[in-house]
Every structure is written in structure tokens, then in C-alpha cells.
Amino acid sequence: MNDQTFADQNLKPTSEGYGAVLFYSEFDDPNAWGDALKTNIPGLDFRVYPDVGNPDDVRHILAWKAYPGFFEPFRNLAQVVNLGAGVDALVGRNDLPDVPISRLSDPGMVALMRSYVLFSVIRYARDIPSFEKAQRRREWHYIHPRPLHQIKVGILGLGHLGAAVASGLREAGFDVRGWDHATKSIAGVKCYSAADDRNEFLSEVEILVNMMPLTPGTTGLIDRDLLNALPRGAKFVNASRGPVVDEPALIEALRSGQIGGATLDVFCVEPLPADHPFWTMENVLVTPHLASITVPEAAARDVAESIRRVSAGGEPLHRVDPQRGY
């Protein structure tokens, strides 16, 4: 939106009238966010928790995993922006007034997610875990590579990130299919929906990638039945949320060989407790919840736009439906 558009809408292209923005995250860099937002809205009143100032000034909160009760003091809140894609830590809580909640969505986040899943899928498709083990034995362990178009990859969840991941895998040459509650259409990807037989989708999948948001409806979705519906030895990648998986069922499937290997970025408890079996399982690769992060320079444009829109009585960008949970 340029200044002309502001003039047309009788809005002010300055921070005046926007109220204060409060930032709360243990993971994101407040300075990078402050700088990026002020580049978009010069003079913005940007505050970083715990330096809240007068809570009544705070109209916009940018938060990641705010503790219970965090939102209670803010009586003039106009919107909450989740500092990430998955809004499961924001919906269904009792300290939030009825204000719009939005998530971040930027090309940097999409690119990082695609790269993580591509890496994980290619690692299995090219038998890299076998070579890692063979190297430790000083063994020249030849496995004839399979053409990528023969390798069937399934994506569970075809939302914004899931669809981008499916297209990325397709462009890389894999045989990709996806499943979503809703009917989706992605070029070159066979899409199944809730109306289709889930087991028909699962029965062919050699590498399953979870991209489902965490909602009451997806908690524990990836359970023993689902894992048993995959061909024996299938690989599993989780890049969305830990509790979508029934972890004891996955551990059992990894031990029995029903699941041949797993690449896990997210867990029911994070950080993953030191005594958790995943740490020491030979066929599991653990990464510490970083498949995708937000790049403030890229995401701040949209957040600034949401601050302007909401201050003018409009809708933020990338608003989520709290009932649906994404």
C-alpha cells in the first residue's frame, strides 16, 4: 500500500493512531523485528516484553508461545500476530479477548520448509542413512539408486506449507500424492480428501511427510492404525507439530520395522527430554524444531500492513479461524 492509497482511504502513513506494538518471544530476535517493522512504519511504538509500559497503550501483540494469562493485562488489544505458521499455542486459550489472530506467511518461511522436507526425503530416497552407517564400518556399500519418479512420497496436510512442499517434491522429480481434510488441487500431485479412502492413499506411500496443523481434530492422528496402513519399512518425516503423532505408536513401529526410519523436527515435549527413546534410536534423525523459521525482513511487510489495516478497522492479512485452528 503506498501513500497515495493511504490518502485515498484517509489513513495516516505514520505510526500515529496505531497504538503500541508489544513483542514476546524467547526464540525470535526483537531487534531484527523492531528494525524491520520500523522500516515499514517509521516511528512505530515498538515494545519488547517485559518492557510493556502502560498495557492500555498496547493494540497489537506479536507473540510466540506466550505463557498462560499473558494476554490478560491488555484491555485495548486489537489483534494478535502469531510469530510463526502454526497457531496452536494461540487458539483455545482463555486469556485472549475476541480479536483477530493471524499467522505469519512469508516466502522465506516457505523456502526453508521446502528445503527441510526436500533434504529429509532425498536423504531416504538416496539411501544416505545406509551410507552413513557403512562409512563407520569402512564398507563400500553399493546400493543401486532408484529413479526418483518411482519413489512415492505422501504429504499429509496440503495447507499453505504442505502444498508448497508437495510442489517442491514434484519439481524435484518424485511421485507425489497428498491428503487433506478439504479438497485440494495441486499441479502434478494426486490429491486425496476426507471423502476418499485414507488407506488407499497410505498403502502406496514410501515416504510420508506430516504437514498437518495441530488442532483437536489432528491430535494423535498419526497413530498405530495409520502407521500400519503404510507399506512395511516406509519412512516418516514430521515437520509440523509433535502431538499430531502418537509417539508411543511411532516408537513401536520404528522398533518393529513397520517404519524404517524417521526424521523428526517436532515432538510432544520440547526440548526433547534427555531420556527420550528417539535420541538413541539408530533409525531416527532428531532436529530441534527448526525446519522453518520466519525471516523478519520478509515477514514484517505483511505484519506492518496488518497493523495499518486493523488500525483502520479492517482485517489483518493471514487471519486464522480459531474454531478451525489454522
Q: Which residues bind ligand GLV (CB under 6 A)?
A: 84-86, 292
Cβ-contact 81, 66 below 8 angstroms: no
Question: 85: exposed, middle or buried (C-beta count within 10 Å: 0-12, 13-18, 19+)?
Answer: buried
Residue nearer to ligand GLV on the CB measure, 129 or 159: 159
Cβ-contact 81, 62 below 8 angstroms: yes
List of residues 6+ apart from 151 with CB closer than 8 A: 125, 174, 175, 206, 207
d(CA 279, CA 247): 13
Residue 239, CA atoms < 13 Å, CB-side half-sphere: 28
Residue nearer to ligand GLV on the CB measure, 27 or 279: 27
CB of 33 to ligand GLV, least distance (A): 14
Residue nearer to ligand GLV on the CB measure, 89 or 172: 89
CB of 294 to ligand GLV, least distance (A): 6
d(CA 125, CA 148): 7
Query: So which residues are the catalytic ones?
Result: 241, 289
CB of 17 to ligand GLV, least distance (A): 30
Nearest to 113 by CA among 287, 323, 314, 307: 287
d(CA 5, CA 113): 34
Cβ-contact 194, 181 below 8 angstroms: yes
3-class DSSP state for residue 180?
A: strand
Residue nearer to ligand GLV on the CB measure, 113 or 208: 113
CB of 303 to ligand GLV, least distance (A): 14
d(CA 193, CA 213): 16
Residue nearer to ligand GLV on the CB measure, 78 or 299: 299
Residue nearer to ligand GLV on the CB measure, 84 or 325: 84
Q: Which residue is nearest to ligand GLV (CB)?
A: 84
Residue 321 is placed in which grid cell?
479461524
CB of 254 to ligand GLV, least distance (A): 23
Cβ-contact 211, 161 below 8 angstroms: yes
CB of 85 to ligand GLV, least distance (A): 4
Residue 240 is placed in which grid cell?
509440523
Nearest to 169 by CA among 205, 121, 208: 121
